[in-house]
Chain A
C-alpha cells in the first residue's frame, strides 16, 4: 500500500511573528506539489520573515507550518530533509571549492556519496561551473557564487525549494539557467516558492502569485485571477500589483 501524498507541499495556517511590530500577521498560505508560487510584496511586507520561519531560521509566535505533511515546528529535521533554502546572499564558504561544498552539503543531508557525486557533477557541468569545480569560491563573481549555492540546494534533490530573491545580481544568461532549472523541478513534481521584486519573472514563471502587505496575504491566484481582483482591467502584473498595494494602503 502506498503512502498517501499530502495535498500541499507547503501549508501555513495563522502564521504570526512580531518584532517591534507585527511582521507576519496570521498568514494563511498554501503551495501545491508541482506548483511554482511567487510571493510578492513591497519592502518590509513580511516575505522574507515568512520564508525564514518556514525553513526554521525563525520561530513563529503563533500558527503552524506543514511541509509535505511534516509539522515543521514539531519535527523540523524531517521537514528540512525535503526542502532547500536559497537566499539572495549565497550561503557558501570562500575557502571551499564548489566540489567540496557540494560534498559537504550532501553529507549534511545524509545523501549517499556516490549518488550525490553523480548529481554534483551533473549540476556543476550544467551550471557551467565544471572548469571551476576545483577552484576555491573566494575568487568567484556574485553570479558564480549564486550558482554554487543553487547547486548546493539541488544536490539533495529537495521536493520544496524556497528562494528569496534568487536572481539578484545574476546576469541574463545565469538568470535564465536558474529559471530553467526551477521550471524543470516543478515539471518533475517539485514545488517552488519564491520572492522576487522582478515582477516580469513572476508574471512569466509563476503558476500562482500571492501578494503580501503588512504581514497579511491581500491577494492570491493565477495572473488572470489577480487582474480580476483589482477590477480595473489592468494589463500587466506591475499595474495589478501597484493597484493592490495602493488599495491596501488606502484601506489601512
Chain B
C-alpha cells in the first residue's frame, strides 16, 4: 500500500471507487446480481461479436497497403467515435465539477488539490478509453481473428483517442469556466457535449442527403467527391487509420500524441480544476425566475401538469438529452424539406426515425415525471385520487411529445397525408408504450438520478428500447403498405405483455414487490 496522500494512493482510491461505481451501475447495487450480470454480459458480448462479424468481417483482409478510399472511411469512422468520446468526456468533466460527492472532504483535507485532480483527470481519461475499448472490442476481436493479430493495434488507437478526448474535454470545460463563469458552464457544457456528440453524425447525414438523397453515412464517406478532396495517402492525417491497420510506428505516434495531450492537460489544468471545483460549489444556484404575475386558477390535474412542464423545462440534463434528440431529427427534417415536391419515396425513412425518437424521448420524460418525483409525500398526501395523479403526469409527458413531434408530422402531412397519419399513430403508440413501461417499472428516485435511470431496472431499459424499435419497424412497414406490419406489430405488443408480466407493479398501480414502492419506504 502506498503512502497516504501521494499520487499512487489517490490513484488506488479512485480506481476502487470507479470499480464499485461500475459494479453498482451494472448490478443496481444488488450484490446477488453479480452472477446474473456476468452471465448476461457474456451472452451480450457473444451476440455483439456476431453482429460485428456481419458488419466488419469482410474487411479483415484489408492490409497496410490500403487505398485512399479505405483510409478515408476508417478515418471518418474514427473521427465519429472520437466525437462521441469527447461528448462523453465533457459530461464526465462537468459532473466532476458540480456533483459534490467527496469533493468537500478532499478539498478540506491537507492533501494538495493538484495531486487530487491530476489523478482525477487521469481516471476520467482511463474510464473514457476503457468504455470506448469495451464498445470497440467485438469489432477489433473479429478483425484480429479473421485478419491476424495486427488488428489488435486498434485497441491502442482507441486508448489514445480516449486520452486525447479527455484532455480536450478538460481544456474545453475549463475554457468555458473562464469565459462564461461557473454558473452558466454547467448548462452550456451539457449542450456543447450534446452538440459535439451529434454534430459529426448529423454533418455526414446532411452531406448524404445533399449528395444521394438518403441518410446513409457510409455513402458519403465512400463517395468519390470526399475521397478526391481528402489528403493523399502518406498524410499524417491518416496516422490513426494506419495504426488501426497494424502499423506499429503509427501506433506509437498516436499513443504518444494521446499521452502528451493528457500530460499537458494534467500539468496545466489540475491546479485550476481545484479552483473551478470550489467556484462551482460557490455558485449556490441562486436563480431568479421571472416573477409570475399571480396565481393562476388550477384544478389539481392542471396544477400537476403545469408543475411537470415547469420542472421539465428547467432540467439541464433533460434539456441536453432532448436537444440531442432534436439534433438527430435535423437530418430527417432536412430530408423532408428536400423532398418537398419530389414524390414520397424518401419520406418512408422519416417514419421510423420519428417513431423511434418519440419512444425514446417519452421514456426519459416519463421517468422524470413518474419516478423522478422530488416530493412524493406531498403529492401522495394531497386530496387527489392516485389515478388522477398518474393521468396528469401521463398527460404532461404526452404534451411534451406533441410539442416536439407535431411540427414534423404537420410538415409530413403536406407531402403525404397517409405517411403523416401512420407516423402520428406510430409516435402516439411508441410514446404511450414507453410511458406505460415506466409506469410498470416505476421506482421512487431523485430527479438528479436521471442520468442513471437505467440502473433502477435493466428490464425497463431493454423493454423501452425494444418497444420503440419494434413500433418503428411496424410504422415503416405500415407506411410502405405491406402486411408485414402486422406480425411486427404483434411482436411489439408481445414485448409490452412481457414487460407487463415481468414488472413489479400490477395494473392498478399497486406494487407486487415491496422493494419497489412508488411511495416512500417505511420508517419508524
Contacts and interface: CB of A to CB of B under 8 A. Distances in A.
B295 A120 contact: yes
Contacts of A113: 294-298
Contacts of B298: 103, 106-107, 113
A94 B522 contact: no
B378 A91 contact: yes
B296 A103 contact: yes
A106 B295 contact: yes
B315 interface: yes
Contacts of B519: 57-58
Given A92-B375, A104-B306, A108-B304, A57 B380 contact: yes
A187 interface: no
B180 interface: no
Nearest to B304: A108
Nearest to A17: B522
A85 interface: yes
Interface stretch (A132-140, A223-231, A240-248): A132-140
B487 interface: no
B111 to A, nearest CB: 28
Interface residues of B, number: 43
Nearest to A55: B381
Interface in A60-103: 77-81, 83-85, 87, 91-97, 99-100, 102-103
B291 A100 contact: no
B286 A135 contact: yes
* From A46, A94, A95, A120, residue with most partner B Cβ within 10 Å: A95
* From B307, B315, B376, residue with most partner A Cβ within 10 Å: B307
A81 B383 contact: yes
B451 to A, nearest CB: 16
B291 A134 contact: yes
B292 A78 contact: no
B284 interface: yes
A91 B519 CA distance: 13
A23 B522 contact: yes
Question: Interface residue tally of chain A, by bracket?
Answer: 35 or more
A93 B311 contact: yes
A135 B289 contact: yes
B285 interface: yes
Contacts of A107: 298-300, 302-304, 306
A93 B307 contact: yes
B522 A49 contact: yes
Interface string B248-285: 00000000000000000000000000000000000011
* From B291, B298, B523, residue with most partner A Cβ within 10 Å: B523
Given A77-B384, A109-B383, A134-B289, A103 B295 contact: yes
Nearest to B293: A117
B295 A80 contact: no
A91 B375 contact: yes
Contacts of B378: 85, 91-92, 105, 108, 152
Given A52-B522, A94-B374, A138 B294 contact: no
B314 interface: yes
A104 B396 CA distance: 15
A44 interface: yes
Contact of B292 (A56, A83, A103): A103
Contacts of A44: 524
A47 interface: yes
A138 B288 CA distance: 11
B285 A57 contact: no
B382 to A, nearest CB: 4
A45 B382 contact: no
Contacts of B447: 94
Given A57-B519, A57-B520, A96 B311 contact: yes
A57 B524 contact: no
A114 B298 CA distance: 11
A77 B523 contact: no
B289 A100 contact: yes
B377 A57 contact: yes
A116 interface: yes
B497 interface: no
B303 A139 contact: no
A99 B289 CA distance: 10
A169 B296 CA distance: 33
A139 B287 contact: yes
A190 B427 CA distance: 51
Given A93-B311, A107-B303, A113-B295, A138 B523 contact: no
Nearest to A112: B297
A48 interface: yes
B216 to A, nearest CB: 41
Nearest to A164: B523
A56 B389 CA distance: 15
B385 interface: yes
Interface in B77-126: none
B482 interface: no
Contacts of A95: 310-311, 314-315
A125 interface: no
29 contacts: A19-B522, A49-B524, A55-B381, A56-B380, A57-B380, A58-B519, A58-B522, A80-B381, A91-B374, A91-B376, A92-B378, A93-B307, A94-B374, A95-B314, A99-B291, A103-B296, A107-B302, A109-B300, A113-B296, A113-B297, A113-B298, A120-B295, A134-B288, A134-B291, A135-B288, A138-B285, A138-B287, A139-B284, A139-B287
Given A92-B375, A106-B295, A135-B288, 16 more contacts: A23-B522, A23-B524, A43-B524, A55-B377, A91-B375, A91-B377, A93-B374, A94-B447, A99-B291, A105-B378, A110-B300, A113-B295, A113-B298, A136-B289, A138-B287, A139-B284
